[in-house]
Structure 1
């Protein structure tokens, strides 16, 4: 058993997530999903060899798989060691790791109280009774784990950071940056991480020959860009984004959505979004895309 960091392998990777109920398996699997893992929750251990075979036969198309196995499937636990031995004995090139999440009894009891959930091994009894029984059942599995994380003092964000730090070597670490224009009169995008209001800029809507077009039109684009306040705003905004985007990537985010809004989402916000897309560009660490939610909404 390795308490702390395991030894990363090469090629395809199969991670088995297990451990004490309430220790953070949900956070762990969500973190691995953000890293591009194909995740399956509550899988019977007898099916682990089938997944290993699928990975081997996919010719690299399935490179990262995470399987969650816990006491909801306790009747299958006796097959777990046999499944793992099967993988080892067949000399698969897939690198297999067991991530075991643990916490102290007192912390687990407190988490059950806060969530008002019943322990799966003590549905009618005290949570501590179920925790002690579970710990005894999982003792052998913990000893065979390649990675043990004690989450007693970790907040969810800290656990996510540890998971990402441990397994991010398997991911290109590309951050998806989506810049989307929108109209405030149609509502702010609910999934936006950052929202910027550009309604203070001169509005092409009041120029007759510009009104029918969007900010993707060269005349509209040049009209929006020619003002000193536009250039001052873009200088400050780009400076902020060049600072923020690496911080989001460092935090472990896989996607950042930047909303640029004007009144109707047709002229100013579209032009500014197009400009930001060009200036930020795609790189080895960020994949930048530009979309326009409302640009064609009122076009006839």
Structure 2
């Protein structure tokens, strides 16, 4: 990462607002992740990560009201101590409306962590907002998930935080199904429906473009080899010209009929190709699968 300080993302916020989805997304982006860390152990966690070759370049921790004896108001103190150990600590806070949170808890039948105190669910939500208010006030980024589904949340974490806060231009390779619409945020869109479709093979139909058997099938198709070569050449020529100070990331989208085989395969393969070309910040997002 060109000598940049290692990144430590502190994921916090309200229960049911998407923290677990966010941590899983960071894990998919090769962050070293730990959930439900007591806030006072933040410096100890960073110390434990120090190796002979330094700290891991990317780490993420979940800190919230589940740690019943932790004083969340002291996060600023522990965050400063962690930063003195050599990390760039950023706080990402998730929230949602009470109406949406109540519905999510009802749908999942999960218990709110503060109901152990004898509080009703509405009371627990109010108390949690009070306890996490210092974290929200200190947050570098606040994401309201009231109107987001899981797929939209994952994408927002990738593009709005994990990539946007990376140095230089970052690339997101996305797959999608045309029947659900073209991603509005895509900078480049490539249509994979012209390629042989693994869907018509009964053994490959249940799999996705990330599975080895589907990759082998598509790798063996001359049209796929030609397609990949031409798209790779196009991207190798034009992506470097998009580097500038005002653009944080570029989305390259591949679409097919169902967003399951060809588009997923192409997004993964072209992302791997980009990494071989020296792009350091590369992520994939499969809209119909993730």
Q: Give the alignment's TM-score, normalised by structure 1.
A: 0.58
Q: State whether structure 2 residue 241 is matched by structure 1 residue 247.
A: no
Asked if residue 32 in structure 1 is aligned to residue 26 in structure 2, the reply is yes
- Change in Cα spacing, 1:45 to 1:186, as seen in structure 2 (3 Å) is same
1:284 aligns with 2:277: no
**SS of residue in 1 equivalent to 2:10:** strand
Q: In structure 2, do the counterparts of structure 1 residues 101 and 141 end up closer, same or farther at CA, with 3 Å as the change threshold?
A: same
CA distance in 2, matches of 1:30, 1:241: 32
Please tell me whether the aligned partners of residues 39 and 78 of structure 2 are also in contact (alpha carbons under 8 angstroms).
Answer: yes
Partner of 1:235: 223
Change (3 A) 1:10 1:241: same
For residues 115-130 of structure 1, what are the structure 2 equivalents within 5 Å?
115-123=108-116, 125-130=119-124
CA RMSD in angstroms, aligned pairs only: 4.3
Match of 1:141 in 2: 135
Moved more, 150-159 or 16-25: 150-159
In structure 2, what is the Cα distance between the partners aligned to 1:131 and 1:140?
A: 16
Q: 2:47 aligns with which of 49, 53, 59?
A: 53
Aligned partner (choices 77, 87, 95) of residue 82 of structure 1: 77
Which structure has the greater CA radius of gyration?
A: 1
Cα separation, 2, equivalents of 1:147 and 1:84: 15
1:104 aligns with 2:104: no
For 2:158 and 2:223, the matched residues in 1 are separated by 33
Counterpart Cα distance in 2 of 1:105 and 1:142: 16
CA distance in 1 between counterparts of 2:104 and 2:61 reads: 23
Structure 2 residue runs of 5 or longer lacking an equivalent are: 174-199, 233-250, 256-262, 278-290
Aligned residue pairs total 215
1:16 is displaced (CA, Å) by 0.6
CA–CA distance in 2 between the matches of 1:76 and 1:49? 14
**Aligned positions of 1:161-176 closer than 5 A:** 161-165=155-159, 166-168=161-163, 170=166
Preserved CA contact (<8 Å) 2:65 2:132: no
Tell me the residue number matched to 1:113: 106
**Within 2, Cα distance between the matches of 1:25 and 1:36?**
17
Whether the 8 Å contact between 1:12 and 1:60 is mirrored in structure 2 is no
Shift of the alpha carbon at 1:188? 4.4
Q: CA deviation at 1:55?
A: 4.8
- Secondary structure at 2:91 match in 1: strand
Match of 1:42 among 36, 40, 50: 36
- Is the Cα–Cα contact under 8 Å of residues 71 and 120 in structure 1 kept in the other structure? yes
Deviation at 1:138, TM superposition (A): 1.0
2:124 and 2:154 map into 1 onto residues whose CA distance is: 26
Superposed displacement of residue 242, structure 1: 6.9
Q: Which residue of 2 aligns with 1:5?
A: none
Residue of structure 1 equivalent to 2:243: none
Offset from partner CA, 1:167-211 (integer Å, 9 cap, x none): 125497597xxxxxxxx999549653374897xxxxxxxxxxxxx
Give me the TM-score of the superposition, normalised by structure 2.
0.60
1:95 pairs with 2:88: yes
Question: How many Å separate the matches in 2 of 1:81 and 1:35?
Answer: 26
